[in-house]
Structures are given as C-alpha cells and as structure tokens.
Structure 1
C-alpha cells in the first residue's frame, strides 16, 4: 500500500495484534515502538504517514509524545489508542492535535476503517 505506520504501545501483545490487523489489510511498511522514547527516536528516520499512539505508557506518556511529534512536524497524523475510562485524557489528546482515538479493546473492522480514513 505504500503507507508508513508507526505503532507505539508498551504492550507487546497489542503491538503484535495491531500489526497483524494492518498486515491483513495490506499494509507492509510498519514500525513498532515499545515506549515514547523509542517512538521519538524512530519518528524522523521512519517518517510515518500515520502514528498509532497508546496514551498510557511508562516514561513519556502518549500525550507528551503527541506534543513532541507535532512540534517536530505539525502535519503529522496521530490517532490515539486508549482503554475505556480515559475519556478526559482522550479529550486532552484531541485538543493537543490528535485526529481521533480508538478505544481498546477494539473491533478489527472499526480499527481498519479508522486507519484507512486517515491514510486517504
């Protein structure tokens, strides 16, 4: 598909699940980061078209990473991934510049639709 996606989540099983869903949908240019620091290191060399960013991570939170990514490249497309019950944090992420959020656990079809929407 030619679109680059950066998956940022501290849970390996979640990164693997997201990767599997994306690969099933034809995406092949994928990178994974286990935390915010790794995401920031990968961001510029990888130059993703979309960042899927967990909110709650050790070290830098998803909100901190979001702010840094958008400071570096304001046109970056970021979709936050959050667990149910983080509505105020999700609202804060949207205010900071995230395009959308996906609530975990998510349904693969809804996830695919959201990703495809922002990669058009």
Structure 2
C-alpha cells in the first residue's frame, strides 16, 4: 500500500516532529492540518492514502472528524494521542478508524503494524 500521509493535530510542534520522523522512515507527508475543517479540505484535495488524526484537536473531537473523513475520502485513518491506548479502546473499535498509535510510539513500523496482519489494531 502506498503511504502518502496527511497529519492532523492541533500542535504545530508535533506536526513538524511527526513529519520529519515519518519522512525519515519513508512515509511521505503530503499535508498537515491543525483543525477539522482544514483536514477535510486537504483530504478532499490531496486524497492521501493515510490520515493520522489526533484524538483531541483542542476544542474539536478527533473521533467526530474520523467519521466525517471516512465518508468523504477513501483514506485509511489511524487515531493518535498522547493518552494511553486503554483510554480509547472502545471508542477506537467503534470508530471507522483502522486503529490507534500512541504518539510516543509513532513510526512507520507502528503504522505498518496497524495496517498489517489483521492482528490487534493498537500498537503500544
């Protein structure tokens, strides 16, 4: 699977660090968004293969954004957060997201693990 990625997070510092990390790992980041509306517009324009969405987008809910993205673009969506995967296990399972990766474990390998073998959708 191609891995052209859109990153969605309300922290510019995280977006810069994650972009650098993922691109160094071989995943091209084609766009970054700070808000839900910006993410929806960029996703429609860029049609990325993968969208990483922070669970907490400041005043916005990442889970709500995932639902909107899932009906608008044919991208694989993975939720990310600084919180423990246990905090969101049921919400992730009920969402259209493929899975969850903690920000502290974010890497191309963690993403591929979520996309891979049909095993657990949470990478720790």
Q: How much has 1:86 moved relative to structure 2?
A: 6.2
2:121 aligns with none
Task: Please tell me the root mean square deviation across aligned C-alpha atoms, in Å.
Answer: 2.5
Q: Deviations over 1:75-108 (max 9, x none)?
A: 43111001224634342133111111111322x5
Unaligned ranges ≥5, structure 1? none
Structure 2: state its 5+ residue gaps.
117-124
Question: 2:19 aligned with 1:23, yes or no?
Answer: no
Q: How far apart are residue 22 of structure 1 and its match? A: 1.2
How many corresponding residue pairs?
116
Give 1:105's aligned residue.
104
Q: Distance in 1 between matches of 2:24 and 2:36?
A: 26
The alpha carbon displacement at 1:21 in A equals: 0.9
Contact kept, 8 Å, 1:37 with 1:60, in 2: the verdict is no
Give TM-score scaled by structure 1 length: 0.81
